[in-house]
Copies of this chain bind each other. A is one copy, B any other.
Amino acid sequence: MTYLEKEIRSQPEVVEKLLRLEAKNILKIADSLKRADIQTVFVVARGSSDNAGLYGKYLFGSRNRLVTTLATPSLFTLYKRPPNLKGCLILAISQSGASDDLCQVVAEGKRQGSRAVVITNTIKSPLAGLADDVISLHAGPERSVAATKTYTAQLMALAMLSAGLSGRARDQDALQKVVEFQRQALKDSAAISAMAQRYRYMERLAVIGRGYNYATAFELSLKLKELAYLTAEPSSSADFRHGPIAIVEQGYPVLLIAPKGKTLADMRQLVESLEARRAELLIISDDRKILSRARTGLPIKPGLPEWLSPLVSVIPGQLFSMYLAAARDCPLDKPRGLSKVTSTK
């Protein structure tokens, strides 16, 4: 079994461990953040971690009422003209904790007197060394270049932090449910492997999610690029209507992440527009009705609150990306031209 497959399959275990080992630490951090006067969460991350940050943008915005922004590291590293970070919590997310550009952003935040929290899989890292508080992912070494288990662990760390900030007991209960839903999602792998064959010669596709699952669209797009060398274009359903939909002609593949919740009606409307253009629909959902519209349906178990759905909805997409990469004879653990730690300035 490849590292990639092992790591995809280990996700429930990793999330369970994270819930067990970091709950206290995260509640402590959340409590002290509540006492600080945080106006804005300033997320700094790259690659899959940046996609996790995008989930954080919706999570902290809607559930903690915190304006959240994704940093523009070049303002710190290339232009040397960083913004004023007064009232910002610097929240760095990195598997390796080794990226020099993230370190520069956090160091500038500290210089300006901001509070810095780092979410990382490597607590003995330069990035962790700069932080006021460190949230460890406890995910074990990630050997596949394409991040999977650390991505969902990052989502869980963010969800735990958000639940800690909200202080609602039912949020804590909801967190505990995730593991079981992830286990269930992994059970469909044989069916997904069979379905992936159909897309052996696909070259490009659109990947669409909205709200909490906007991040899932970005993350699955990245997996499809890294693993299967596809041109995958992530978008929200709203943005897609503003131009990109012009691309869609008969048979154009569109992968939609459309779990139940506040965004489902909007996704359903988009499905109608796409059907009118005779697009090929691939749909990840826990809603039977929308799944029935798909050429390729990737079902997940219903019942998880929408705000936690990205922790589960990404899994059929990870499996699909892996099996598709295998069908295309791409190397699964080390895609061409990539290394585990990417150095950027």
Contact = CB atoms under 8 A, between A and B. Distances in A.
A273 B339 CA distance: 13
Contacts of A204: 203-204, 231
A308 to B, nearest CB: 14
A67 B88 contact: yes
A141 to B, nearest CB: 19
Contact of A62 (B61, B81, B336): B81
A229 to B, nearest CB: 5
Contacts of A344: 238, 241-242
Contact of A243 (B57, B225, B238, B244): B225
Interface string A221-255: 01001110111110010110111111111000000
Interface in A246-283: 246-249, 262-263, 266, 273, 277
A148 to B, nearest CB: 13
B233 A231 contact: yes
Nearest to A146: B243
Contact of A65 (B58, B84, B243, B248): B84
Interface string A48-78: 1010000001101111011111101111001
A277 B246 CA distance: 30
A40 interface: yes
Contacts of A124: none
A97 interface: no
A83 B242 CA distance: 25
A172 to B, nearest CB: 19
Interface residues of A, number: 74
B87 A263 contact: no
A46 B238 contact: yes
A85 interface: yes
Given A61-B72, A69-B69, A78-B263, A338 B246 contact: yes
A74 B335 contact: no
Given A238-B46, A241-B342, A231 B231 contact: yes
A79 interface: yes
Nearest to A243: B226
A2 interface: no
Contact of A247 (B69, B84, B230): B230
A39 interface: yes
Contacts of A232: 233
19 contacts: A47-B242, A58-B72, A68-B83, A74-B210, A74-B236, A78-B211, A203-B204, A225-B243, A225-B246, A226-B243, A230-B247, A231-B231, A231-B233, A233-B233, A238-B344, A243-B335, A245-B337, A246-B335, A246-B336
